[in-house]
Amino acid sequence: IHLHIIQQIFNMKIAASIFSAFIAGTITASAFVSPRTQAPVAFTRNSDVSVKAASALKMSMSDELDIPCEDECAVGGYADLPASVKPGVLSGQAQVDLLEHAKANGYAIPAVNCVSSSGINACLEAARKNDAPVIIQFSSGGSQFYAGKDLDNSNYQAAIAGAISGAFHVRTLAEQYGVPVILHTDHCAKKLLPWIDGLISASERYYEKHGEPLFSSHMIDLSEEPIEENIEICKDYLSRMSKIGILLEMELGITGGEEDGVDNTDVPLEDLYSKPEEIYQVYEALMPISPMFTVAAAFGNVHGVYSPGNVKLEPEILNRAQAYISEKLGDKAPEDKKPVMFVFHGGSGSDISDIRKSLGYGVVKMNIDTDTQWSYWEGIKNFEVKYHDYLQGQIGNPEGPTKPNKKYYDPRECMRAGELQTVARLADAFSDLRCQGILGLGEKKTGENVFGPAMGGLPI
């Protein structure tokens, strides 16, 4: 009898546990609404989403991982920027607010291609030293390299894993530097769409748990396809991405030169210049879906650095397009008559006068890759020249045949030299783009308790 009573009590407890789990699961399912049916907290235009409920999902990386967050990391916002813009990775309305602020105030944000955590850190350091936001972006090749060149990349799994790994690195450290960051992926041609599909899926999963996407924005580059196909595919992606607060950058017209395995050095000259009618065609197709898009229109842009006179930029094309679209919109045109947010590709080596003209025509982002590739290498090269005699063996240098050279060949030394040279080059980019002193944080104080090789570090 006693055994029978005990068995009944046990069964009742099991039933209660199952019921509790069911209730908890129902609550959880209600909290983590599918990203395909709900707009994110950060971008709820024309939506009846409960901001309070969704905001509960959002948590800073510092809070989530219990990383100390003090001084600038703990800044709640910036005096001269929209209230939505805070330290860390931006998405949704906060990202749109920052880009609109750039357009309204005549500056653009440097967008730097990164292939390593060291390169990312250099960008964050440069952003803080220039008191400015920054865009960190990965190409498909850079993403694969981030994952490790030995990994199999069938179906682009290495490139997907590498970009996601880099995204978490950026998210973890952006807050610590106290700067807002747009986390972006660069050129994605038609054959690379499975790469972007994998990243959007990762963002959708991330959104379900955090109320924001993993990435801020993605570029779809179908400029080599017929314009009708380019627009239709971009419409599909914008519909999917905007639901979770991801911005779309689309390319119209071809950027010349060569970058990351894409060679456009021999394209017809007319393909390097977009027409106002084409840009309006894009605007007319995408705006009814969402305003979360930018256009990388071609105005003679070329990847790489070439001798003076070999590249003829015509930023006035952008101005004509803004005027054309504003005229088409009539009373619905924005007050500034700049309905489009433009992206400047091929920024490395561009003439400062062309850069400055483009800022007045609605450019909010300029890509930099070739120049920062060179700056990182130049830092390492200069380091080798300076300490050449200490880098020829593990033991033996001008100070004596038994003197060790470990502190010279420690990879942190030459890598740091590359970072510092890149920070210096990016200071020029921030200046060229009038993107300095935007955050209002002032001069960065010197870090304390900074370790280096042998607890010191070489003068670089």
Q: pLDDT tens across 32-65, in order? A: 233 333 333 334 333 333 333 344 356 789 999 9
Q: Could you tell me what percent of the chain has a pLDDT over 70?
A: 80
359 near 379, Cβ under 8 Å? no
pLDDT band at 9 (very low <50, low <70, confident <90, very high): very low
Q: What is the pLDDT of residue 5?
A: 47
Which of 34 and 172 is assigned the larger pLDDT? 172
State phi, psi for 297 to the nearest 5 degrees.
-80, 145
Q: What is the pLDDT of residue 53?
A: 32
Token code pair at residue 269:
């000259």
Q: What is the pLDDT of residue 445?
A: 86
Task: Name the residue type at position 161.
Answer: A
pLDDT band at 11 (very low <50, low <70, confident <90, very high): low
For 304, other C-beta atoms within 10 Å of its C-beta total 17
Closest by CA to 124, choosing from 85, 176, 168, is 176
- Distance separating alpha carbons of residues 158 and 187, to the nearest angstrom: 17
- Distance separating alpha carbons of residues 364 and 348, to the nearest angstrom: 16
pLDDT in tens, 370-385: 999 999 999 999 999 9
Q: What is the pLDDT of residue 26?
A: 38
**452, pLDDT greater than 70:** no
Give residues with Cβ within 8 angstroms of 327, minimum separation 6: 333
Q: What is the pLDDT of residue 52?
A: 33
pLDDT band at 128 (very low <50, low <70, confident <90, very high): very high
**Dihedral Cα 303, 305, 309, 314, nearest 10 deg:** 40
Q: What is the pLDDT of residue 350?
A: 76
How is the chain split among helix, strand and coil, in percent rounded to 5?
A: 50, 15, 35
> Which residue among the candidates 63, 66, 152, 186 is catalytic per the annotation?
186
**CB contact burial 210-246 (16+ within 10 A = b; e otherwise):** bbbbbbbbbbbbbbeeebeebbebbbebbebbbbbbb
**418, pLDDT greater than 50:** yes
- Distance separating alpha carbons of residues 436 and 109, to the nearest angstrom: 10
Task: DSSP letter for 457, please.
Answer: -
421 near 375, Cβ under 8 Å? yes
- Distance separating alpha carbons of residues 211 and 357, to the nearest angstrom: 38
**Catalytic residue check, 186:** yes
For 389, other C-beta atoms within 10 Å of its C-beta total 13
**22, pLDDT greater than 80:** no
In degrees, to the nearest 5, what angle opens at C-alpha 308 toward C-alphas 305 and 314?
Answer: 85
pLDDT band at 254 (very low <50, low <70, confident <90, very high): low
DSSP string of 17-48, one letter each residue? HHHHHHHHHHHHHHHS--TTTS--TT--TT--
State phi, psi for 136 to the nearest 5 degrees.
-110, 130
Kindly tell me the burial class for residue 57, based on how many C-beta atoms sit within 10 Å of its own C-beta (0-12, 13-18, 19 or more): middle
pLDDT in tens, 181-198: 999 999 999 999 999 999
213 near 247, Cβ under 8 Å? no
**10, pLDDT greater than 50:** no
Q: What is the pLDDT of residue 129?
A: 97
Q: What is the pLDDT of residue 451?
A: 73
**104, pLDDT greater than 90:** yes
Question: What's the whole-number mean pLDDT along residues 227-240?
Answer: 98
Q: What is the pLDDT of residue 73?
A: 93
**392, pLDDT greater than 60:** yes
Distance, C-alpha 449 to centroid of its chain: 30
- Distance separating alpha carbons of residues 27 and 439, to the nearest angstrom: 40
Question: What's the whole-number mean pLDDT along residues 200-219?
Answer: 97
Which of the residue ranges 42-46, 242-246, 358-362 would you say has the lowest mean pLDDT? Answer: 42-46
Q: What is the pLDDT of residue 459?
A: 78
pLDDT in tens, 288-316: 999 999 999 998 877 554 444 455 789 99
The count of residues in the chain is 460
For 262, other C-beta atoms within 10 Å of its C-beta total 18
Task: Name the residue type at position 239.
Answer: S
Token code pair at residue 363:
């450019």
Query: For all residues of the chain together, what is the average pLDDT?
Result: 85
**328, pLDDT greater than 70:** yes
- Distance separating alpha carbons of residues 403 and 396, to the nearest angstrom: 5
Which of 304 and 247 is assigned the larger pLDDT? 247
E-assigned strand segments in 286-433? 293-297, 302-303, 342-344, 363-368, 395-397, 400-404
**455, pLDDT greater than 60:** no
Q: What is the pLDDT of residue 306?
A: 44
Closest by CA to 363, choosing from 271, 298, 281, 424, is 298
pLDDT band at 122 (very low <50, low <70, confident <90, very high): very high
